[in-house]
Amino acid sequence: MGLLILIVVGAILGWLATIVLRIEDGRNIAIYAGVGVVGSLLAGIVAGNGVIFGAISGTALLWAVLGASIAIGAFSLLRQRAYR
């Protein structure tokens, strides 16, 4: 159940990032959702001591949100620098 929660949290944060950044291309929305999922999973696994198939703690969920936010911010920054 914890794995599903981390995936959903990351996807929602990626989608919200596209709204905040005003990205309207459908492909970019999927990319940002994927980056959010990866960041959420990595931070959630580290904060949850490697347990992703069991219950997830509130602390691990908060770390997952932070990890997804950092991953999306870094990805957005890298994309902006690549287009300059």
- Structural domain boundaries in the chain: 2-82
Position 59 scores a pLDDT of 82
Name the pTM for this structure.
Answer: 0.81
How long a stretch of residues is the chain? 84
Residues 6+ apart with CB under 8 A from 9: 36, 40, 44, 61, 64, 65, 68
Q: Which DSSP category does 46 fall into?
A: H
Position 68 scores a pLDDT of 87
Position 47 scores a pLDDT of 80
- Rounded to whole angstroms, how far apart are CA atoms 9 and 11? 6
Position 51 scores a pLDDT of 65
Ordered mean pLDDT values, 10 residues apiece, the chain (84 residues): 83 86 78 89 80 73 86 88 80
H or E stretch covering 78: helix 58-82
Position 56 scores a pLDDT of 74
Position 79 scores a pLDDT of 87
The answer to whether the CB of 28 falls within 8 A of the CB of 18 is yes
